[in-house]
Structure 1
Amino acid sequence: MEKEKVRTKELLIQVLATAIICFQACLTGFVVSWPSYTVGNFMSNETVLSTPMSSIDVSLLGSLPNIGGLIISPFCGYAFNTFGRKYATILFTVPYILTWLIISVTSSVPLVLASMCIGGIGIAGQNVAIIYISEIAHDSIRGGLTASSASGYFLGILITYALGGNLAYMEVIYTHLGLSILCVLLLLLLPESPVFLVLVGREEDAAKSIAFYRQLDAKSKEVEAEIAKIRLQIDPRLESLLEGDNDPETLGELVEKKLGAPQERKSETAWKHFKKSKSSKRALMMVLIIMALSIMMGCVVLQVYAEPLFKEAAPSMPSNQCAIFLALDFLIASVLCVLAIDRFGRKFLLIVTATGSGVCTVLLGAQLQFHWAPAWFTVLLIYGFSFIFTLGCAVIPFVLTAEVFLPEVRSFCNSIVMAFTWIFNFLTLVIFHPLVEAVGLGPVFYFFSVVCFTGAIYSQFCVPETKGLSADAIQLLFLKQRRQSIKK
């Protein structure tokens, strides 16, 4: 059966809505990158703060957003299931406003550090907000629109580096504050996710939401079909039907023939739904493994060591210029991922970019250990690895997190994945600092290459292709070994 294609009108409105939601990711880029070009001033005797920061303060300045994000992550799923995708996204944008508001009115070191911890709360919510995008997007473009969140993040990094190099300290703060307020105002214009509205029994509002995002008449048969499709996805009998001999392409008929009117759902927590759902458990395990492999491929550690490596390989290039070029490298790669993910699929991009990243890390490790090529080649390898990694491995795990779970456990599982990501990022940095001191940075990159090639192999044999599939069809991929029976 030929997949339904997205129409031009609904494509434009969904892209516009996604851009507004991804504006929040842009704010994340502001918070993450701001310390890198302000730390010099904060540690100097001419600092804008009441007293210069100590080395411990500087460490906290960069790490406290992680603490704030880790603390709030377990509550993100509850917020998105209780307040809705739209209002939870707005709720988690408010911490960005508070962060820049506090910094704008204080010169106290403890208050500046506290504000960065508050910013981490926004980052945690932003990572879960991608489910909002996945639930308003047409299946045929869901991957690209969800991946746009990464582009928003890298755009934020690029913007803040550019601002830091051209504006005064307070001008940067006020710009970030103004943009954070603007993001909230724009989010207020968007309708709620239709999936959430059906979940809470507001089907009339859900029809209006679908009509907006699909550019249809709220009373049309197409909207009724979408409502029925969502009902199917949240019906407690779905997995039992999928475990039979039902082909995913006939699930629309099951709505009428086997499910009939939607069964009244008991008021159960996401945790209880998760315990009952075989597909969600298997999907969560797959996502956690892919996320762990992605983190262990070395990009997190490379970002820590990028500045000294750039100084050694390109001493004449200003550090701010190096940072801008690296942010631009990430941004271009993420945009290409947006354009390619629904054309080539998640699995193909994971395999290709994991393999390419493995080649880059082998060459970079050899270069750092033996210096077999000119110094400029180190810079080329850093940019090359960053580009290839971002093209797939850096983005696709988050796309999978947003699309492989049933609607009733989607927020809950996203919170688990994001909390795992915070912890695993921290452990990676803790482990590799002493490891680098013990064996050197070059040999450590050989380990990264092993992880990259392991990721490629795992993706080939254990990651299902979800391109263009609805939520119910995706569940079948995790319930049965029938992946070949699903037409891509």
Structure 2
Amino acid sequence: MGKLHQIHTSISCSFSSLLAGLLYVWPSYTLELFKDSHTTLLTAPMTDVESSLLGSLPPLGAMVGTALTGVVIGKFGRQRGGMLLGLPFVVSWAMINFSSTSTMILIGRFIGGIGCGPAFVYGPMYISEIAEKSIRGTLASVPITLYCIGIQMSYILGWYLTYRYVVWMNLACSVLGVALLMTVTESPVYLLRQNREEDARLAIAHYRGESPKSKIVLEELSQLKQQITPAVELIVMNIEDNPNTEEAEKEKLNTDDESPEMKTTMSSLKLLFLSPSSRRGFIVVGLCLVLQVLMGVLPVQVYAKQIFTQAAPSLSSNFCCVMLAMVLLVGSLSSLVMADKFGRKFLLVTSSILVALCVSSMGIFLQTGIVPPWVTAVLILVYCCSFMLGAGSIPFVLIGECFMPEVQSLATVLLIELAWLSNFSIVGVFPFMIKYIGIHGSFYTFACCAVSNSFISYFLVPETKGLTKDQIQEKLLRRKK
């Protein structure tokens, strides 16, 4: 039962990722309804600037939501905090449902983005706190998988339902997301930080399917208590004059030698950037996240219908969009299976190389027109599937694995903020890329980023498969591959 409880909580806390998928690709099939003066559902058609904001505002709102995540879940806990963080989705779709002007639609999109922000912070964090090592990688990929399911649902709803029914379905899913979190058990990490040791022991027993007095539960409780105590890693600054001190020992937690004053004054921000392992983990994962975004899959999702219309005009753009979401899901599910089998680094490198080959080929074919349009459409699908095999999912796994509990929340928030800023930039710039360098030039740019990601993944990313957080910290410190 323990693993079932972990799966249930992983799905519930990651449901906001599905809602983010629904929100993000909505413009793909509604933009034409807003822009065309003959079909617009608004009081006036959207301008080009408003049309651009329709796709790019959610990442901007997500930056606000991400900044709020740590405060909310720190004050209210993972369960109640998650419910609060899911409310912007409800407000967003309610506003869109009752709006008839571009301004209100855009405000609704921005508010929805505030809900998207926590989606990829809160889920991985919660999962990393309740998942056992043997299935940690698999469960950590649940948020990105649900995101793909949300995209699939949105494209299908947009194909078969009218505008109003799509909005109602999205609103219903948003309410369901809040309701699901009422059924989960609080994170033992949060409970320990609130000095609720007995509740933490019961939570561990719940997630491991063991008796609260069992050896497994008591050992894990003891390990968590040691991890949550501020690391003595900062003491490295005071003992650097001792040349016999091993680097690995500077990373260890040693609460016996630590004064209460140091425990209370130690800053997470200082620990993140003064700790060699945390600093290196932050830089490496940050590079992977930025390059992941610059590989261009998000703009392809947001403008999928328009891209397929241009790349393969003889094919149904609605059908191609649904196929796109399907291959994203297949790639994500494949990543779920392979994350704990082949390792994180292998998937990152392989995925990036495949993406580079696909997008460079698409650029050549679109520029020269030497192949039938359906070949280009198929390559777009292969490109997205290859992306999800590793480059699209593994960085989020690494976020949950590469940091100590003392800096996990802060590092996660900062990294996701960086990713949202990159998302906002690429979605906003993409229409201008197509205008000035063409769609083929855009794909060449994505190929360069994919090649860069493959090199960084091979040379800098540590293999974390099957390792505890302490082992990962030592590996980062010693710069092992």
* Aligned position for 2:12: 20
Residues 186-197 of structure 1: matches in 2 within 5 Å?
Answer: 186-197=180-191
Helix, strand or coil at the partner of 1:171: helix
Deviation at 1:284, TM superposition (A): 0.6
Contact persistence 1:364–1:381 (CA under 8 A):
yes
What letter is aligned with 2:54? L
Residues 115-194 of structure 1: matches in 2 within 5 Å?
Answer: 115-129=108-122, 130-194=124-188
Structure 2 counterpart of 1:393, from 388, 391, 394: 391
Q: Distance in 1 between matches of 2:46 and 2:427?
A: 23
Q: How has the CA–CA distance of structure 1 residues 360 and 289 changed in structure 2, closer, same or farther, with 3 Å as cutoff?
A: same
Q: How has the CA–CA distance of structure 1 residues 454 and 164 changed in structure 2, closer, same or farther, with 3 Å as cutoff?
A: closer
* Aligned position for 1:3: none
Q: Distance in 1 between matches of 2:58 and 2:182?
A: 26
* Aligned position for 1:6: none
Structure 1 counterpart of 2:264, from 263, 266, 274: 266
Which stretch of the first structure deviates more once superposed, 378-387 or 238-247? 238-247
Q: Distance in 2 between matches of 1:92 and 1:141?
A: 26
Residue 196 (structure 2) pairs with residue 198 (structure 1)? no
Which stretch of the first structure deviates more once superposed, 329-338 or 169-178? 169-178
Deviations 1:212-241 (A, max 9, x none): 111111222211111111122223345479
Q: How has the CA–CA distance of structure 1 residues 313 and 435 changed in structure 2, closer, same or farther, with 3 Å as cutoff?
A: closer
Structure 2 counterpart of 1:30, from 19, 22, 28: 22
* Aligned position for 2:340: 342
Residues 153-302 of structure 1: matches in 2 within 5 Å?
Answer: 153-237=147-231, 239=233, 244=246, 264=260, 265-266=263-264, 268-302=266-300
Deviations 1:304-326 (A, max 9, x none): 66434422443343322221111
Which stretch of the first structure deviates more once superposed, 122-131 or 58-67? 58-67
Structure 2 counterpart of 1:70, from 63, 71, 74: 63
Residue 371 (structure 2) pairs with residue 379 (structure 1)? no
Deviation at 1:57, TM superposition (A): 2.7
Which stretch of the first structure deviates more once superposed, 187-196 or 75-84? 75-84
What letter is aligned with 2:181? L
Helix, strand or coil at the partner of 2:116: helix
Q: How has the CA–CA distance of structure 1 residues 473 and 66 changed in structure 2, closer, same or farther, with 3 Å as cutoff?
A: same
Deviation at 1:60, TM superposition (A): 2.3
Deviation at 1:182, TM superposition (A): 1.6
Helix, strand or coil at the partner of 1:477: helix
* Aligned position for 2:86: 93
Q: Which runs of 5+ in 1 are unaligned?
A: 1-8
Q: How has the CA–CA distance of structure 1 residues 448 and 164 changed in structure 2, closer, same or farther, with 3 Å as cutoff?
A: closer
* Aligned position for 2:353: 355
Deviations 1:37-74 (A, max 9, x none): 22233334454434443333322222221221123333
Contact persistence 1:80–1:88 (CA under 8 A):
yes
* Aligned position for 2:362: 364
Helix, strand or coil at the partner of 2:370: coil
Which stretch of the first structure deviates more once superposed, 398-407 or 445-454? 445-454
Contact persistence 1:232–1:472 (CA under 8 A):
no
* Aligned position for 1:5: none
Q: How has the CA–CA distance of structure 1 residues 246 and 110 changed in structure 2, closer, same or farther, with 3 Å as cutoff?
A: closer
Q: Distance in 1 between matches of 2:32 and 2:403?
A: 44
Deviation at 1:425, TM superposition (A): 2.5
Q: How has the CA–CA distance of structure 1 residues 411 and 104 changed in structure 2, closer, same or farther, with 3 Å as cutoff?
A: same
Q: Distance in 2 between matches of 1:165 and 1:413?
A: 39
- When the two structures are aligned, how many residues end up with a matched partner? 469
What letter is aligned with 1:227? L
Deviation at 1:442, TM superposition (A): 2.6
Q: How has the CA–CA distance of structure 1 residues 289 and 88 changed in structure 2, closer, same or farther, with 3 Å as cutoff?
A: same
Contact persistence 1:358–1:453 (CA under 8 A):
yes
Q: Distance in 2 between matches of 1:443 and 1:72?
A: 33
What letter is aligned with 1:185? A
Q: Distance in 2 between matches of 1:76 and 1:362?
A: 38
Task: Please give the TM-score of this superposition, normalised by the length of structure 2.
Answer: 0.89
Contact persistence 2:55–2:302 (CA under 8 A):
no
Contact persistence 2:305–2:318 (CA under 8 A):
no
Contact persistence 2:58–2:111 (CA under 8 A):
yes
Q: Distance in 1 between matches of 2:426 and 2:448?
A: 15
Q: How has the CA–CA distance of structure 1 residues 429 and 137 changed in structure 2, closer, same or farther, with 3 Å as cutoff?
A: same
Contact persistence 1:235–1:263 (CA under 8 A):
no
What letter is aligned with 1:157? I
Q: Distance in 1 between matches of 2:285 and 2:82?
A: 22
Task: Please give the TM-score of this superposition, normalised by the length of structure 1.
Answer: 0.88
Q: Distance in 2 between matches of 1:100 and 1:430?
A: 22
What letter is aligned with 2:6? Q
Contact persistence 2:79–2:186 (CA under 8 A):
yes
Structure 1 counterpart of 2:423, from 425, 430, 444: 425
Contact persistence 2:365–2:371 (CA under 8 A):
yes
Deviations 1:65-119 (A, max 9, x none): 1221123333322323332222222111010111122223333432222111110
Q: How has the CA–CA distance of structure 1 residues 304 and 221 changed in structure 2, closer, same or farther, with 3 Å as cutoff?
A: closer
Structure 2 counterpart of 1:453, from 430, 451, 460: 451
Q: Distance in 2 between matches of 1:218 and 1:175?
A: 41
Q: Distance in 2 between matches of 1:306 and 1:110?
A: 24
Deviation at 1:457, TM superposition (A): 1.9
What letter is aligned with 1:423? L
Q: Percent identity?
A: 35
Q: How has the CA–CA distance of structure 1 residues 452 and 136 changed in structure 2, closer, same or farther, with 3 Å as cutoff?
A: same
Helix, strand or coil at the partner of 1:97: helix
Q: How has the CA–CA distance of structure 1 residues 35 and 446 changed in structure 2, closer, same or farther, with 3 Å as cutoff?
A: closer
Q: Which runs of 5+ in 2 are unaligned?
A: 237-244
